[in-house]
Structure 1
Amino acid sequence: MNMEYLSTAEEKIPNIPMLVNLISYRTRQLNSGARPMVKRDHAEMDNHDLVLKEIAQGLLTAEMIFQQEETEISDLDFDASILL
């Protein structure tokens, strides 16, 4: 594993579990025949290193979306906003 690409990828995506999941997901895509977004450094370059290079160059990112669902309760005789 290329440690330079790994350290740069950790700077781009500091959440380690998310980074591991992203690398795993993209590596499976490459193993299934997806085209890489960057050129290989050498012919024997592993797909994990290729994914790290994509992340390091900013071509592959991840984001987390948090949503809070508001449930509407219409059968109550009082203001439901105090339940939140």
Structure 2
Amino acid sequence: MRDDYIKNALKVIDDPNILINVVSRRVKQLRQGHRPLVVSLEKMEPEDIALREIVEGKIIYRLPTAQEMQGRR
């Protein structure tokens, strides 16, 4: 993974644990055949694609509310 992509993604998702989870879920989707949401002229690893998608606002995350968490029990 490129350091500059990680640094920029941490500006969008400032919690490293959440960033790791978002990236890993997106990488899994990309490896299953989902198309990238960003265009690149260079060949990129799925991790870098996921980080760029986050930086460019193509991927967002939302933490569940307390009410949603109670509904999961």
TM-score (normalizing by structure 2): 0.84
Q: Does 1:14 align with 2:14?
A: yes
Paired residues, what number? 68
List runs of 5+ in structure 2 lacking aligned partners.
none
Specify the SS of the correspondent of 2:34: coil
Residue 37 of structure 1 corresponds to 37
Alpha-carbon RMSD across the aligned residues, in angstroms, is 1.3
Measure how far apart 1:16 and its partner are. 1.2
Alignment deviations for residues 11-61 of structure 1 (CA, whole Å, 9 cap, x no partner): 100111111011000000000000110012412x10100000000111111
Distance in 1 between the 2:41 and 2:47 partners?
Answer: 13
Counting aligned pairs with the same residue, the percent is 31
Aligned partner of 2:5 in structure 1 is 5
More helix by share: 2
Q: Distance in 2 between matches of 1:2 and 1:53?
A: 10
**Residues in 1 aligned to 2:60 and 2:46: alpha-carbon distance in whole angstroms:** 17
Structure 1 runs (4+) greater than 2 angstroms displaced: none
TM-score between both structures, scaled by the size of structure 1: 0.74
SS in 2 for 1:9: helix
Please tell me whether Structure 1 or Structure 2 has the larger radius of gyration of its CA atoms: 1
